[in-house]
Structure 1
Amino acid sequence: MTENNELRIAVIGSGPAGVYSSDILLKQLAKRSEELGLPATARIDLFEKLPVPFGLVRYGVAPDHPSIKFIAGALEKTLDNPNIHLYCDVEFGKDVTLDELLARYDAVLFATGAVKDKPLGLPGSDLEGVYGAAKFVEWYDGYPTGAREWPLDAENVAVIGGGNVAMDVARELMRNADDLKAKTDIPDNVYEGIQKNKAKVLHLFIRRGVAQAKFSVQELREMEKLPGVQLIINEDDFDLDEETIEVAGKDKLARQMVEELFTIREMAEDMEDDGDVDFEGNPADRKYYIHFNSAPTEVLGEDGKVTGIRVEVTETGADGKMHRTGEFVDYPVEAVYHAIGYKPAEAPGIAYDEKGAHLANANGDGRITTEADGGEVRPRLYATGWAKRGPVGLIGSTKSDALMIVNHMLEDFAAAPEHGLFAEDRNPESIDELLAGKGIRPIDFAGWKRIDKFERAEGAKEGREHKKVIEPEQMRKLAAGE
């Protein structure tokens, strides 16, 4: 089989979903090509709109997650494969169109992430001092087009949300700047911003009960080890009935989470008994309140600025259904952060399912359709990760997604008379010629390695493993060896 007859796949997005899919596709092809009557090799080109790869791992997760550098290392090993080609700084729909890709590739796989928040939708959500988690995450993760400064002058802060992003946001708002700098790759502007953070009291509001929270155990353990922070809980939240405990116990992850939350309850009691101290027994200068069964109903304000938040007490049954009680409590806060979900990016020319917040695909099987509700399957177009299923699941969830979609893709290829070789232009240099003709200079894997080398060198000067570059133009110059 000559190079011109290998399968050619374009992947939009170089985060975990795109990279895992590329790796699995090559492995499945090697394993199943003979059985399916397909070429044994493939060229996979990943198109990334940012100047650097890794998407969510680099820009969507808090910098103090210790496991993230291991995930990034695994993704990098996959990209260092001669059959996988990286095209960073190339935006789908702007720099390259769907028609241009379909002329050159046998299939296009969308593995785009999420950069927008779901709207809060409460009275007062337009007040100054109300922030979506996505923009705050962009700031502290050094997103290339994100904010360079962040207002951290509120002494009393509320965070709304019962998932891992809410936990990340709350943790960073309670973080000690020097501790964060020593352990992470945050850039200087983030370090300086957190140094000036005035937050002394934080309230985390979770609508449902202890047994229905969506936190990972890792997130909870990171909450437990915040220097200078006292954790405060409401003991009534932990008064679970037998049915609730039984239901939670049937799911391994839920059981582990509840057990860890009970550990936090004991920690909070010890912190109070020992004189309002942190996890190491040192005097705490910040207080972190964790409120379960608390549904925010309104952001309160004066003169266009946040002054408080109104919360309705709720009750949650063993079935996970929340019931409102009509009992309200007001909390004085000057800033409100909401982490109630992301909205995955749309793709030009692809139908979008607004209700599910993902690209339209047939019964969740990853095959792109003409309409959100049903419609016909569009040949040679697929979606994986959040682009397929919406903003749910952890990074690891993308692997099972990728395996399913890759197998659907290969089976579709095998069923076609062309045996997967659909693209008319099979010149492997065609995409490079197209981009060059438009004056676009993609950043390839070698360019990324130059950026990474510089970031490591800058970190080493401060005794750190890594220090992020955040300006796109500097990234381009580093990638080009300038």
Structure 2
Amino acid sequence: MTENDNDNELRIAVVGAGPAGVYSSDIFLRELAKRGADLGLPGHARIDLFEKLPVPFGLVRYGVAPDHPAIKFIADALEKTLDNPDIHLYCDVEFGRDVTLDDLLARYDEVLFATGAVADKLLTIPGADLDGVHGAARFVEWYDGYPTGARTWPLDAESVAVIGGGNVAMDVARELVRNADDLKERTDIPDNVYEGIAQNKARELHLFIRRGVAQAKFSVQELREMEKLPGVQLIINEDDFELDDQTIEVAGQDKLTRQMVEELFVIREMAEDMEDAGGVDFEGNPAPRKYYLHFNAAPTEVLGQDGHVVGLRVEHTQTGADGVMRHTGEFVDYPVGAVYHAIGYKPASVPGVAYDERRSVLANVDGRIIDNPASSDETGDAAVCPRLYATGWAKRGPVGLIGSTKSDALAIVGNMLEDLAQGGLPAKDRDPGSIDRLLDERGVRPIDFAGWKRVDAYERAEGAKEGRDHKKVIDPDQMRSLALG
């Protein structure tokens, strides 16, 4: 490509190489090929994808339980997207530390933030600060081998509570009752996680969902994975499944909700069979671990003694067909030694970009970054920050499945192309080598796609030694050594 070609090439920076960032990069190139000529835009674009971790894939690698069977296929699809000469991967480059907003705006026509979520929403009931109360995010980091996560985890409680009515709560609960050998055989967990789960003392797990069966937010896949836990008996309360006609009618209006409710009734039948057989797992084998599923159960206080968790106080609730939860004033105390809360993530803030604390997102309207968080609703008087965009959880908060980021990205990319068609190519520095020189001057050694492939090859080779597809590397310095040679 000649210097003039560089001048006529769109240049896009994407911050975050998780599913939202990778999908958006792919969709941008596809939509440019489809619509670019009609919009009067150049036919070619270079996308530079910046990731603070030494390896890509974000949520897929570090935010989802390792025993999800679909994860391998999603990761393979993301990798195929990255193997594109128009997409350049810059891992181990942290926005705000290694590059700034001004650095990117000088070199790129538009900047898209796909930064995901890294922290738990706070549990606000009394006792939430006791020793033995854990946020889901940190636990997920441990069992997924996050580069800067914990390397050991306290699994010494015989009875454990999980609070939450969504897929992350299901992931956490499932891993807390998993058989270590079965998990190792099926997944890429590193040795420290295998050893930790092998020593897990939990024999009772209680999952508390504030609303009713028809208002939970579980995916059918999550429920089916719960149904096939070796050595685990599922236990339900029959009263939770007494749904009135109006609730059933409302649940049936949404396909996903209807499917979820149908699967929960399958679980009810399984639980009855497990109990009738004397306390067995899904294969009819003795079940040393018990998994209690509590609906209409709102935790109100973590009970403590000498600074440590000893129980959880739960209020029985009632939920109408309208989804509104009503308090009953009826409480039950459950003796537990640890409490995990999975009540939502808080998407990361970004240096130089306004943050909407109310919605826990980068301040935006329809994906366009704005400078006034108070106006980031549809009726507000928003002041748009030109050339800055958000997608995925950074835009909408931590809702939706991984695949839902595709439709989100399509809408944002449409806005980006239309804005470019009106505003031209504003980046002053159009030399594609400029960013590399800048990073080199600052002593930053980015890891590119070839470097990731070297890490991946090593993980595959280590896994093969144990008859597994992968064995995850968790030490960031080892990743850098493998990637950079």
What interval of TM-score do these two structures reach, taking the shorter chain for normalisation? over 0.9
Measure how far apart 1:36 and its partner are: 0.2
- Equivalences for 1:220-235 in 2 at 5 Å? 220-235=223-238
RMSD over aligned CA atoms reads 0.6
Q: Give the letter aligned to residue 381 of structure 1.
A: L
Measure how far apart 1:458 and its partner are: 0.2
Measure how far apart 1:88 and its partner are: 0.2
Is 1:131 the counterpart of 2:138 in the alignment?
A: no
Superposed CA offset, 1:312-353 (max 9, x none): 000000010000000000000000000000000000010001
- Equivalences for 1:364-375 in 2 at 5 Å? 365-374=366-375, 375=382
Which residue pairs with 2:378 in the alignment?
Answer: none
Measured in 2, the distance between the counterparts of 1:302 and 1:388 equals: 41
Which residue pairs with 2:470 in the alignment?
Answer: 466
Q: Give the letter aligned to residue 413 of structure 1.
A: L
SS at match of 1:346: coil
Measure how far apart 1:4 and its partner are: 3.2
SS at match of 1:2: helix
Measure how far apart 1:394 and its partner are: 0.7
Measured in 2, the distance between the counterparts of 1:209 and 1:325 equals: 14
Superposed CA offset, 1:41-93 (max 9, x none): 10000000000000000000000000001000000000000000000000000
- Equivalences for 1:405-424 in 2 at 5 Å? 405-416=412-423, 419=424, 421-424=425-428
Measure how far apart 1:371 and its partner are: 1.0
Which residue pairs with 2:288 in the alignment?
Answer: 285
Which residue pairs with 2:432 in the alignment?
Answer: 428
Select 1:447's aligned residue among 446, 451, 471: 451
Superposed CA offset, 1:209-245 (max 9, x none): 0000000000000000000000000000000000000
Select 1:323's aligned residue among 320, 326, 329: 326
Which residue pairs with 1:98 in the alignment?
Answer: 101
Measured in 2, the distance between the counterparts of 1:21 and 1:373 equals: 27
Q: Give the letter aligned to residue 371 of structure 1.
A: N
- Equivalences for 1:307-322 in 2 at 5 Å? 307-322=310-325
Measured in 2, the distance between the counterparts of 1:156 and 1:99 equals: 51
Superposed CA offset, 1:410-437 (max 9, x none): 0011112xx2x11000001000000000
Which residue pairs with 1:240 in the alignment?
Answer: 243
Measured in 1, the distance between the counterparts of 2:36 and 2:281 equals: 58
SS at match of 1:373: helix
Select 2:201's aligned residue among 198, 201, 213: 198
Which residue pairs with 1:188 in the alignment?
Answer: 191
Structure 1 alignment gaps of length 5 or more: none
**TM-score for both structures, normalised by structure 2:** 0.98
Is 1:438 the counterpart of 2:442 in the alignment?
A: yes
Q: Tell whether the 8 Å contact from 1:24 to 1:403 is kept in structure 2 after alignment.
A: yes
Measured in 1, the distance between the counterparts of 2:215 and 2:456 equals: 40
Q: Give the letter aligned to residue 386 of structure 2.
A: P
Q: Give the letter aligned to residue 426 of structure 2.
A: F
Which residue pairs with 1:250 in the alignment?
Answer: 253
Where in structure 1 do 4 or more consecutive aligned residues deviate above 2 Å? Answer: none
Which residue pairs with 1:355 in the alignment?
Answer: 358
Which residue pairs with 2:75 in the alignment?
Answer: 72
Is 1:149 the counterpart of 2:156 in the alignment?
A: no
Which residue pairs with 1:380 in the alignment?
Answer: 387
Q: Give the letter aligned to residue 366 of structure 1.
A: G
Measured in 2, the distance between the counterparts of 1:24 and 1:287 equals: 45
Measured in 1, the distance between the counterparts of 2:422 and 2:11 equals: 17
Measured in 2, the distance between the counterparts of 1:402 and 1:89 equals: 24
Count of aligned positions: 476
Measure how far apart 1:3 and its partner are: 2.8
Identity of aligned residues (%): 79
Q: Give the letter aligned to residue 251 of structure 2.
A: A
Q: Tell whether the 8 Å contact from 1:217 to 1:260 is kept in structure 2 after alignment.
A: yes
Select 1:165's aligned residue among 168, 171, 177: 168
Q: Give the letter aligned to residue 372 of structure 1.
A: P
Which residue pairs with 2:483 in the alignment?
Answer: 479
Measured in 2, the distance between the counterparts of 1:41 and 1:64 equals: 39
Which residue pairs with 2:461 in the alignment?
Answer: 457
Measured in 2, the distance between the counterparts of 1:194 and 1:132 equals: 18
Measured in 2, the distance between the counterparts of 1:169 and 1:72 equals: 21
**TM-score for both structures, normalised by structure 1:** 0.98
Which residue pairs with 1:42 in the alignment?
Answer: 45
Measured in 2, the distance between the counterparts of 1:371 and 1:49 equals: 26
Q: Tell whether the 8 Å contact from 1:4 to 1:428 is kept in structure 2 after alignment.
A: no
Measured in 1, the distance between the counterparts of 2:14 and 2:250 equals: 40
Measure how far apart 1:355 and its partner are: 1.1
Measured in 1, the distance between the counterparts of 2:464 and 2:399 equals: 36
Measured in 2, the distance between the counterparts of 1:461 and 1:358 equals: 43
Superposed CA offset, 1:90-142 (max 9, x none): 00001000000000000000000111000001100000000000000000000
- Equivalences for 1:384-403 in 2 at 5 Å? 384-403=391-410
SS at match of 2:373: coil
Measured in 2, the distance between the counterparts of 1:456 and 1:115 equals: 27
Is 1:10 the counterpart of 2:17 in the alignment?
A: no
Measured in 2, the distance between the counterparts of 1:17 and 1:107 equals: 16
Q: Tell whether the 8 Å contact from 1:48 to 1:88 is kept in structure 2 after alignment.
A: yes
